[in-house]
Structure 1
Amino acid sequence: MTGSTTRLPRGLVPLLVVSGVVLLVTWGLAQGVWLTNLHNGLLALAFTLVGAYVLHQRRDHPEGVLLLVAGAVQAVLFWGRQIGHAGDPASAGVQWAAWLGVWPIALGIALVTLAVIGFPTGRLPSSRWHPVVAVVVALALASAVLSLLWPVEYGAAGLAVPHPFAGPAPDAVAALWSALAHPAYLLFQVLWPVAIWARWRSATGWVRRQLAWLLLAAALAALVLVVGLLGWHSPTPGLLAATVVPVVAGLAVVHGEHAAAYSALTWMSRRGHADDLPADLARATGEALGAPATLWLGSAELLRPVGVWPGADDPAPLPTADLGARVSRRVDLDAGRVGALTVDRRDQLTPREDRLLDDLAAQAALVLQHLTFGEMVERERRAGHLDRLTPRERDVLELMAEGLSNAAICERLHLSVKTVEPVVGSVFAKLSLHQQPDTNRRVLAVLAHLRSAERPASP
């Protein structure tokens, strides 16, 4: 008997987490409105609902998972503080609830920090951020353990409830807490703008637009914070306004990925006739997947770059056997030709990105066929074989180069389909291309290239 793995229905876990968070926030609000704790409840709802939304749109998206877990931690903090603030300090249940409302603070801040560092893809800006993440996790765990064992953070949380199993923290523990936790919290928050700046430097296209959305939301929350401090001498308005940041972040993640995928798959409709097809495709691929991309063409042994993004020196020829070590898709063409589309990503693609790369590889096959087709026509042109075309055949070829279908060519030349189709077939036969009449899009790319090659060079 072979074992089988049963996968939970899509959306079940996020739904359960959302239900639990709503329950905790409602339970906490039933204890009364404690204004200095209200932002924790709103953040819990915002993080959780946005995380669930991202995961509904993009299953297993790392950013969605971070937002969902951060929301769950915020819900526990809000509920525990509400119970500890309104309940009987002598009650053991109230003491344990208050304890739960305090010690995970470091974990909550660390989760938000990781979400900011990974925004919008859930991946690190570069491999150099791995040690930074390790430090964030280590500091958060150490701070959480100290807060779990002693009431070192009760005063900052505004709770006067006794710790459920420990008395006042020893002086050494209190000193260690002050030296560790407070600088760690400051470091976490300093990392937020640093991570966004690092991502912005290497980002292009839709990633920068997503970052701009996040920055705009953060600027709005900061403005409200400043107004609250100056006008009411309280940070509460700013803390409440901060709930807009995760909402905007979630919308930016989902909308940005939808838009990036759409932009990548419709790149050809936005290009001009003077554009370079291989470079255009490489750019569409790189912007959609957030990494440099290269389109290759060659033989079964060696590939050469024909389209590179971002524009830089062409990479060295690539042995076809080395494709397996890269994020790539191989494209087998006619007559022993081999092509490939590669992306310089060190981390694995998400399932959505895998499907997108498959679709782009299908477009790469058409682009590479254009190149192969163009080489054949260029050889025919150099050999003078294009001179063998009759005036009618030249007229038809020119109209095919404009992207016209056979029916449109008939209308333009005022001829019948029975007259035009043999002419189209004759053009391909004289060029030894053996193509079908409906391949006029390939001719469009070829003739655009030939026209540019035939233009006189600028002095």
Structure 2
Amino acid sequence: MTGGPPRLPRGLVPLLVVSAVVLLVTWGLAQGVWLTNLHNGLLALAFTLVGAYVLHQRRSHPEGALLVVAGAVQAVMFWGRQVGHAGDPTSVPVQWAAWLGVWPIALGIGLVTLAVIAFPDGRMPSLRWRPVVAVVAALTITCSTLSLLWPVEYAAAGLAVPHPFAGPAPDGVATLWSALAHPTYVLCQVLWPVAIWLRWRGASGDVRRQLAWLLLAAAVALTVLVVGLAGWRTPTPGLLAVPLVPLVAGLAIVHGQHAAAYAALTWLSRRGPAADDLPTDLARATSEALGAPASLWLGTADRLQVVGTWPPTGLDPEPVAAADLPAASRLVGLSGSRAGALVVGRTDPLSTADVRLLDDLAAQAALVLEHLTLRELVEGERRAGHLAGLTPREQEVLELMAEGLSNAAICERLHLSVKTVEPAVGSVFAKLRLQQQPDTNRRVLAVLAHLRSVEGLAPARTEE
């Protein structure tokens, strides 16, 4: 038996939150339809369902967690206002429900602001945003505390229910509330487009597409708001259109994850097999797809050394044994005594989709490491003079075979016909006393593995 408390089943907490939110929204709607509050119920469902889906796709995703919490706060507000609006104002339970429907307003706006700033990966655009986030947190906590203790926002919320434990707010509290609350709400809403714009400036590719989705949804909601104000002199249509924004945001996040996975699995086709630093390219693709530093290691099971890392650190980690690698790692079996590993610096558990993606990238890592090993081996054989029996053309063909090129690719690289390349390939096998293999990359592994076993040479990594 293993020690420690038992872990909850994966996805249980988001499921419980979604269930609670659906219950609160249903309970609130049972009190009747109050149009000026209906958008809070729709926002509660949108935020919670989208956040839970994001967490299902990638466990412990910070943006998903923010959306779920924001949805839960919106659900409490919606339920409390519905009960307070339709219930008996003299009833104590109704008064407490109305209290729950009012004071978290600032908290909800603050959570939405954090979600916008952190969109789409759950991280701040830069470290410079830390003071901004700290100020927003301090202001929202202060406003929420004032609203919790006194009925300073009951009138704005459209509720005539008495506060459950306090009378009218003292003059000093009312003055402080007027000086803080509405400027705080305006500040938060101004930060939304600013954060998106700054994120857009420093982003590219998939992140920009995700931001574009969010901006499009916000533009649609804003257009509906303007039309409602101009045509019917009411913001209700615009408020009812606002839940479209978190729905589209969730779709953008999930689509971005799929796009990142696709980009990670197609990095080689975009870089090409002749790229200068394939290990670093693969580490970068892994890091961008899984949202954490990644590194590629090569050596033996007892001593692995890093051959590619992203983001660059300027320092090479100390060699480690395969048994000492972190949990988010995949060992890569290579020919002979060589070994490799693909390591991801994730401390949170990997989701099912992340595990599948990491497994696929590890399979690519095996090809990259074999490619690296084979090129080193060819160079070692050349320096040792063991390929002296091959003609220059045969040596050139063998090097291209070691890069994993097929006969057709070798023809294209050397601008030669098949009738010229195929005899050269056959001659290489003949001089190395090997039976000719089908035209696959495995023949290269067989040739060089044979050379290594016959000559007893271990390839040495070239020091840069």
TM range (shorter): 0.7 to 0.9
What is the CA distance between 1:11 and its match in structure 2?
Answer: 3.2
Q: Which moved more, 1:71-80 or 1:81-90?
A: 81-90
**Cα distance change, pair 429–270 in 1 and its aligned pair in 2 (3 A):** farther
Contact 1:279 1:308 in 2 (8 A): yes
What is the CA distance between 1:141 and its match in structure 2?
Answer: 1.7
Aligned pairs (5 A) from 1:355-370: 356=357, 360-361=361-362, 363-370=364-371
Task: Quote the sequence identity (%).
Answer: 68
CA-to-partner distance for each residue in 1:82-101, whole Å, 9 max, x for gaps?
A: 22222332332322221111
- Counterpart in the other structure of 1:261: 261
1:162, 1:209 → 2: CA distance? 48
What is the CA distance between 1:265 and its match in structure 2?
Answer: 2.9
**Cα distance change, pair 56–308 in 1 and its aligned pair in 2 (3 A):** closer
What is the CA distance between 1:77 and its match in structure 2?
Answer: 0.9
Aligned pairs (5 A) from 1:13-412: 13-276=13-276, 277-290=278-291, 315=314, 319-320=318-319, 348=347, 351-352=350-351, 356=357, 360-361=361-362, 363-380=364-381, 383=385, 385=387, 388=390, 402-403=405-406
One-letter code aligned to 2:145: V
What is the CA distance between 1:291 and its match in structure 2?
Answer: 6.4
One-letter code aligned to 1:185: Y
The TM-score normalised by the length of structure 1 is: 0.76
- Counterpart in the other structure of 2:456: none
What is the CA distance between 1:118 and its match in structure 2?
Answer: 2.3
- Counterpart in the other structure of 2:413: none
1:147, 1:156 → 2: CA distance? 12
Q: Which moved more, 1:295-304 or 1:115-124?
A: 295-304
Contact 1:110 1:140 in 2 (8 A): yes
Q: Which moved more, 1:365-374 or 1:236-245?
A: 365-374
1:15, 1:304 → 2: CA distance? 41
Q: Which moved more, 1:393-402 or 1:104-113?
A: 393-402
What is the CA distance between 1:301 and its match in structure 2?
Answer: 9.2
What is the CA distance between 1:191 and its match in structure 2?
Answer: 2.4
Q: Which moved more, 1:367-376 or 1:148-157?
A: 367-376
Contact 1:203 1:290 in 2 (8 A): no
1:428, 1:123 → 2: CA distance? 56
1:340, 1:392 → 2: CA distance? 33
SS of 2:5's equivalent?
coil
**Cα distance change, pair 189–261 in 1 and its aligned pair in 2 (3 A):** same
**Cα distance change, pair 198–120 in 1 and its aligned pair in 2 (3 A):** same
Q: Which moved more, 1:368-377 or 1:283-292?
A: 283-292
- Counterpart in the other structure of 1:452: none
2:309, 2:166 → 1: CA distance? 66
2:252, 2:19 → 1: CA distance? 24
SS of 1:388's equivalent?
coil
Contact 1:397 1:424 in 2 (8 A): no
What is the CA distance between 1:103 and its match in structure 2?
Answer: 0.4
What is the CA distance between 1:56 and its match in structure 2?
Answer: 2.7
**Cα distance change, pair 131–237 in 1 and its aligned pair in 2 (3 A):** same
**Cα distance change, pair 247–268 in 1 and its aligned pair in 2 (3 A):** same
Q: Which moved more, 1:53-62 or 1:378-387?
A: 378-387
What is the CA distance between 1:190 and its match in structure 2?
Answer: 2.4
1:441, 1:214 → 2: CA distance? 47
**Cα distance change, pair 341–66 in 1 and its aligned pair in 2 (3 A):** same
1:349, 1:330 → 2: CA distance? 19
One-letter code aligned to 1:403: S
Structure 2: 5+ residue stretches without partners: 409-417, 446-464
Find out whether 1:440 has 2:441 as its counterpart: yes
What is the CA distance between 1:197 and its match in structure 2?
Answer: 3.2
Paired positions, count: 427
**Cα distance change, pair 438–280 in 1 and its aligned pair in 2 (3 A):** farther
Q: Which moved more, 1:229-238 or 1:35-44?
A: 229-238
One-letter code aligned to 2:24: L
1:95, 1:48 → 2: CA distance? 26
Cα RMSD between the aligned structures? 4.4
One-letter code aligned to 1:193: P
Q: Which moved more, 1:285-294 or 1:385-394?
A: 385-394
Contact 1:425 1:437 in 2 (8 A): no
One-letter code aligned to 1:373: L
One-letter code aligned to 2:135: V
**Cα distance change, pair 149–279 in 1 and its aligned pair in 2 (3 A):** same
SS of 1:89's equivalent?
coil
- Counterpart in the other structure of 1:416: none
One-letter code aligned to 2:406: G
1:316, 1:436 → 2: CA distance? 42
SS of 2:165's equivalent?
coil
What is the CA distance between 1:247 and its match in structure 2?
Answer: 0.9
